[in-house]
A and B are shown apart, each in its own frame.
Chain A
Amino acid sequence: MTVAERQLESTRQPDPDVSLPVIAPHQSFAGVTDQISSAVLTTKTPIPWFVAFAFALCLVGVFVCAITWIFAKGVGVFGIEIPVAWGFAITNFVWWIGIGHAGTLISAFLLLLNQSWRSSINRFAEAMTIFAVMCAGMFPLLHLGRPWLFYWLLPYPNTMTIQPQFRSPLVWDVFAVSTYFTVSLLFWYLGMIPDLGTLRDRAKSTFARFVYGVLSWGWRGSNGHWRLHETASLLLAGLATPLVLSVHTVVSFDFTIAILPGWHSTIFPPYFVAGAIFSGFAMVLVLAIPIRAVYGLQNLLTERHLNNCAKLMLATGLIVAYTYLIEPFTAWYSGDQFEMYMVHNRAVGPHAWTYWGVIFCNVVVPQLLWFRKMRITPKPLFWISIAILYGMWLERYMIIITALHRDFVPSSWSNFIATLWDNLALYGSIGMFLFLFMLFIRFLPMISMYEVRTLLPFSGIHGASQK
């Protein structure tokens, strides 16, 4: 850093990050609206989109094949066994659910906290949530021995007068995830209605006008509409905010309720929530950075956004690191031979690579984010995020596999080896996620036009909301 730069640095406001503009200067209402809506309506779809879409479509094909095979043959095609009766499917489930969390955090939590910078990323972050939860939701079904009877986990009146077993965390999961999906979907859709109205008004083809017209529910932008919309948004944000904390807490109960060393731990709920947000923001960045480049959205998705997301990652990453630290301590402090063995086995056993991989990806790599340069430069940030996404997947894998494969009675100990179908289902679900996301950025406004407009310095004179 040169002397001049350092002087410049010192003349800045106390927190240099706040000086990063949320939105580039010299933007206009029409300009913002044009830029975002044209990506859907007029501009030629960029080549990278086709490439990504084709890639995603291939993976969807793989996914369909994998699901067909799994349903046809049974879950034996996975690498699961006795004692490791859960494998990739549950890992994937927890991972995807976790990824979804960032979207809700951005759209609901930050809305309530009046963080206006969220406006340019909340739309696609919410879309990410929806698609991630959709991917997550598939895995509990895929991993069931008899998937056609999945509805037995739902409480519904039936002639057998038998209900789910409410002490099982898997039943709680059903409620948590379905609530989460419903609220997220409503919130996302509700937030999109004004923009759908804009697309309807700007669409050239009759068909597009018709579709967007139906989807926008007769939005006219009247005062009354805006008032109701605002109220509903706030209410849903209020509903969604606790879900950010509760859903992954419930997911963590899948493990903590069990008596297995490595699962049975009270630290899991905060640990899982932090991990979820950690991986969620990584996914937000992994999506935002290429989109920003391909669609030239640097003016709306500014360094400020990258910086804030990175900071959140760093913070949640540190929470996760803390739990990594506290786990061996608790095991040692408990004096329980099974707990101690579990920690030992994690670090030096046959799956030690997962443990050290997790430490590297989730603890070592995120330390780079202490450097401001790393936080605002897209390329390194992208790869850091990828590492975190991988690390968080590995963490769930480690939790599940290392706890199960060597538990109480050594005679049952074994090793878990994933099969082709385990891998195909994982990659297939990534493909499905990408596929849905590509469709989303092609056919729906990926950034909230009306909310970004409020970020413009002169938006106040139009009396729009203060977010």
Chain B
Amino acid sequence: MNQPPTSDFVPLETLTGSAPRSRYWRDLDELRGIPRPEPPEDTGEFVDQNTRRRFLQLAGASLGLAGLTGCTRQPTEFIYPYVEPPESAIPGKPMFFATAAPMNGIAEGVVVESHLGRPTKVEGNPLHPASLGSTSVHSQSSVLDLYDPDRAREITHLGEAETWEDFVQTLNATLAPLRESKGRGIRLLTETVISPTLGSQVQAFLQALPEAKWHQYDPCGPHSARTATQAAFGRPLNTYYQLEQAGVVVALDSDFLACGPGSTRCARDFMARRRRGDRTDMNRLYSIESGVTSTGGKADHRLPLRYAKVETFARGLAAAIGVQGAGTSPAGFHADWISAIARDLMASRGASAIIPGDHQSPAVHALAAAMNLALDNTGKTVVYTEPLEIRPEDQVESLKKLVDDMNAGAVEVLLIFGGNPIYNAPVDLAFADGLRKVKTAIHVGLHLNETSQLCHWHLPEPHFLEDWGDARSLDGTAAIIQPLIDPLYDSHSFSQVLDVIVQFPGRSSYTIVRAYWMAQHKGADFESWWRKSVHDGLIQDSALAPVTPVLAANWAQSPLLAPTEGNTDDELVFRADPYLYDGRFANNTWLQELPRPITKLTWDNAVLVSPATAQRLHLENQHVAQLEYRGRIIEGSVWISPGHPDGSITIHLGYGRTRSGRAGNGAGFNAYLLRTSDAMWSGTGLEVRATGKKFPLASTQMQQSMEGRNLVISAPVETYKQDPDFVNHIQEPVPRNLSLYPPWNYTGYAWGMSIDLTACVGCNACVVACQAENNIPVVGKGQVLARRAMHWIRIDTYYKGSPERPELYYEPVPCMQCEDAPCELVCPVQATNHSTEGLNDMVYNRCVGTRYCSNNCPYKVRRFNFFRFQDWTTESIKMQRNPDVSVRSRGVMEKCTYCVQRIRETEIRADLENRDVRDGEIQTACQQACPTQAIVFGDIKNSGNRVAKLKALKLDYPLLAELNTRPRTTYLAELRNPNPELKETAS
């Protein structure tokens, strides 16, 4: 790191907030006579076909761009007075556009809400197979990434601003001699490329310059699955699951319900056979896992096993199912579990699934594939297709080759598209040392990150909401990514940079993507096909055809499936962070402050360890532990995690960034510093030492025991079948009309909500959706520690049973909208009132901030602005806000409103159409995002409505019924489906 930290001088701060820094640059540029790009010159494009929308986009963008143009010159061109409002754009009425949110190149179809050209909220695309209307946490939070004030804003060369033209000129000059040698010395390093357009461009690039090489590296991803299919089936295949018909699911260290691409759909399908436990064919989930995940918490049987033992277990299970040649587990190794699960699996042949986790070894993946074949699941619940990747390869090997070449001085020009290898490459590769030997390193990315700091050039990349592109979902369905807004900054996509290299510059991303699909489209009338595809957010019938793989002979002996060596030393397990993933989302404050599943930690990763192991190693909660692993040492704060396997330590990747921006810098510790290329996910030989130092971790839930209270009511489905009224036997129903006053007669709608605890997987999508919809501020680690997090809905997580094998329960808690609300009674200024539709309205303008309402709320769902938590100064953040929701200031109480803005909007629309609001017409933000449809909202007065039907179920119960607050939000008791054979072993 001898290179000067050039990017120190780059204005990382806000658009307008860092006037002194921006001015410094401007003055310097002017001194040097470097012409500066005027961002609004992009408006040259908006005179073409899409005038109306582009205009609106610009109108929104100008808010942010104003800051960039302020100091020097005003644009002299393209000022369009708003004389004639664009057709169909009604101020105050949002418009919705379908696009796709890529995660590791894998798309989740989304519909983005746009207010006067500003994308504000991401919803799922009901037409898209990966979404079906729901969204993952990452799609929800992507809109904040767009407005991240720390994004890279200008092309920089050694930290100094340059223009695109300069870049192109310099690049061409550099490439000229290399082109003559057919590209020798040119290297491309990308993340996994799945986008068909980008793929075709890369192929074209490789054709044009055959001596150039393309490397791919993603620190997290389905590497094991790729290797396993290569070994088992002889070629890499893409795997995805269709769990709607799966009666028995075994998760081998997989968090398929809540994490990773495709989890949204998996969770929905899985819960389709579980939601509302009055179904007789409830499915069953076993989770064998090396950590504590949302999926494990949801499982009917959860067995914590060390990482290496999961493989042993898989071998045992495979042998029990009848898979030949894959070995077995030692006798007595969880034999009861293995035999019970095997029997269960074989009883539902063709309707079961074994799902290995992305971070498990290739051997586990291969065993799972073999078991799925043996169980006749392949093609039914487990589907294989040709790979989504343009070029499947062993990415670690690919990166190793690149580093070797760099060290050998064979790399003249390295183009790094996205990614952050300096931060996340295996530490033993010493990528940075290699990179320093490269003559010209160019990094294209959203942020000036650790890698761009060591590259000569950095080019800002457009966010997917700013740019055209395409992506595939796990089943192969392609979707066109259309932009919602003109790029906020002077950014250029990979495609455009590749165009420069192959000397075909000047095309916009739009032209590139369209040209690709024009070539692909076989039928007639491309224009209407294109329009429909863009409009729908997916390309019809583009899913890849399933393939029926055959096990290769001697697959189990393949060197790719080397058994994970097992010993009894403490083992270290790396996992992608459920929200920051590999670290790319580190600067997303919503994700940083989103409580991690189970631990409820925010703003930090932790050294996760079981209670017994903590005791053995003399570790205490929130004390710093030193981890020594293969000669490298890092320190991290300990979090004792009940249910974690003993002798194993889990650390999450994605933290400890140094150059991610204001939110991500310094949050947590960098687990990559221990990650080596030969043990990407786990290894033994770890030494853990207590240091005696303390480091506080900000968890949003400090008490995870129910204290014997009936908060989450749950029972095995058998109990429910025998005694459908069991809920009322656990919790006495409160007689109605205990009040002295006659009940209020609701003449209009009576809004209510039902939350199915059986279906909730604790994924937190609702929490981010609520945050995005309702302009909920983030407060930072200090304020989370001070118990002032602002989320309007929270997922309470409780442990039950022993600390070694606890059962886990999730309970989403929004405002209960009590009919006899304790909060309303005590407000001295009538700031919280009951509406005629039964909502607890919160009148921000009237609130003086006595906080009495919060004290008197038994559910503690009210949130107070102890400070001015809202960011009033960062222009780009302002653009994200939902204009239909007040931005609360300091000293004001706030809480869940049932998304009253959506209710009113729909009521008004229904009124105008002279009809009643239809059932399901109003969706609250949490409901809409929920992958498992656990949340149902509607008018409870109309007994035909879905919510009313759910409330009529015997499983329905209000939280803390004995207080007689008569909540409008009620819960459906959680049903689980334990295997009677395993009853004693479980918990």
Contacts and interface: CB of A to CB of B under 8 A. Distances in A.
Interface of A: 73-76, 79-86, 140, 143-147, 149-150, 152-153, 162-165, 167-171, 174, 254, 257-260, 337, 341, 404, 406-415
B847 A145 contact: yes
Contacts of A415: 702
Greatest chain B CB density within 10 A among A83, A84, A258, A408 is at A408
Nearest to B854: A85
Given A153-B829, A258-B826, 8 more contacts: A82-B787, A83-B855, A144-B848, A165-B827, A259-B856, A260-B856, A404-B855, A410-B798
Contacts of A254: 852
A259 B858 contact: yes
Given A83-B855, A260-B856, A76 B703 contact: no
B21 interface: no
11 contacts: A74-B890, A75-B866, A82-B854, A84-B787, A146-B847, A146-B892, A152-B828, A165-B830, A170-B850, A409-B813, A409-B858
Given A75-B866, A168-B825, A413 B788 contact: no
A86 to B, nearest CB: 6
B830 A414 contact: no
Interface stretch (B705-713, B737-745, B754-762): B705-713
B868 A74 contact: yes
A82 B963 contact: no
Given A144-B849, A146-B891, A153-B848, A412 B860 contact: yes
B866 A411 contact: no
Contact of B828 (A83, A171, A341, A410): A171
A435 B854 CA distance: 36
Interface of B: 701-709, 711, 783, 786-788, 794, 796-798, 811, 813, 822, 825-830, 846-852, 854-856, 858-860, 862-868, 890-893, 959-960, 963
Contacts of A83: 787, 854-855, 860
Given A164-B829, A167-B825, A410-B709, A145 B851 contact: yes
Greatest chain B CB density within 10 A among A76, A83, A414, A415 is at A76
Contacts of A79: 786
Contacts of B850: 140, 143-145, 170
Nearest to A167: B825
A86 B855 contact: yes
A258 B856 contact: yes
Given A337-B709, A407-B858, A259 B846 contact: no
Nearest to B790: A82
A248 to B, nearest CB: 18
B826 A82 contact: no
Nearest to B860: A412
Given A74-B890, A165-B828, A407-B860, A86 B848 contact: no
B855 A341 contact: no
B860 A170 contact: no
Contact of B891 (A82, A145, A404): A145
A110 B891 CA distance: 44
Contact of A410 (B703, B851, B890): B703
B504 to A, nearest CB: 56
Given A81-B788, A82-B788, A145-B865, A409 B860 contact: yes
Given A82-B787, A145-B892, A165-B829, A414 B851 contact: no
Contact of A411 (B813, B854, B890, B892): B813
A150 B705 CA distance: 40
A422 to B, nearest CB: 13
Contacts of A80: 851, 866
A145 B893 contact: yes
Contacts of B797: 411
Given A80-B866, A85-B855, A170-B828, A411 B847 contact: no
Contacts of B963: 259, 408
A408 B855 CA distance: 11
B829 A152 contact: yes
A162 to B, nearest CB: 6
A160 to B, nearest CB: 9
B868 A81 contact: no
Contacts of B855: 83, 85-86, 258, 260, 404
A85 B895 CA distance: 15
Contacts of B863: 82
Given A82-B788, A85-B854, A171-B828, A152 B865 contact: no
Greatest chain B CB density within 10 A among A83, A146, A153, A341 is at A146
A168 B826 CA distance: 4
Contacts of A168: 825-828, 852
Contact of A82 (B811, B822, B862): B862
B852 A74 contact: no
A147 B892 CA distance: 11
Contacts of B811: 411
A73 B867 contact: yes
Of all A-B residue pairs in the complex, the 3 with the closest CB atoms, nearest first, are A145-B849, A145-B891, A76-B866
Nearest to B867: A76
A146 B864 contact: no
A76 B864 CA distance: 9
A259 B820 CA distance: 12
B711 A144 contact: no
A414 B847 CA distance: 25
A411 B830 contact: no
Contacts of B708: 337
A86 B825 contact: no
B849 A75 contact: yes
A410 B707 contact: yes
A171 B711 CA distance: 34
Contact of A86 (B711, B796, B846, B851): B851
A77 B945 CA distance: 47
B864 A145 contact: yes
Nearest to B866: A76
A409 B828 contact: no
A263 B258 CA distance: 41
A285 to B, nearest CB: 34
A74 B709 contact: no
Contacts of B798: 410-411
A258 B867 contact: no
Given A409-B813, A410-B709, A411-B794, A257 B851 contact: no
B859 A414 contact: no
Contacts of B854: 82-83, 85
Contacts of A412: 859-860
A102 B1 CA distance: 72
Nearest to B711: A409
Contact of A153 (B813, B828, B851): B828
B828 A74 contact: no
A83 B794 CA distance: 14
Contacts of B788: 76, 81-82
A164 B828 contact: yes
B364 to A, nearest CB: 35
A80 to B, nearest CB: 7
B703 A413 contact: yes
B960 A144 contact: no
A219 B805 CA distance: 85
A41 to B, nearest CB: 46
Greatest chain A CB density within 10 A among B798, B828, B849 is at B828
Given A81-B787, A165-B827, A74 B711 contact: no
Nearest to A407: B858
Nearest to A410: B703
Nearest to A408: B858
Contact of B826 (A147, A174, A257, A407): A257
B825 A257 contact: yes
A30 to B, nearest CB: 54
A144 B829 CA distance: 12
Contacts of A81: 786-788, 866
Contacts of B866: 74-76, 80-81, 145
Nearest to B795: A411
A74 B830 contact: no
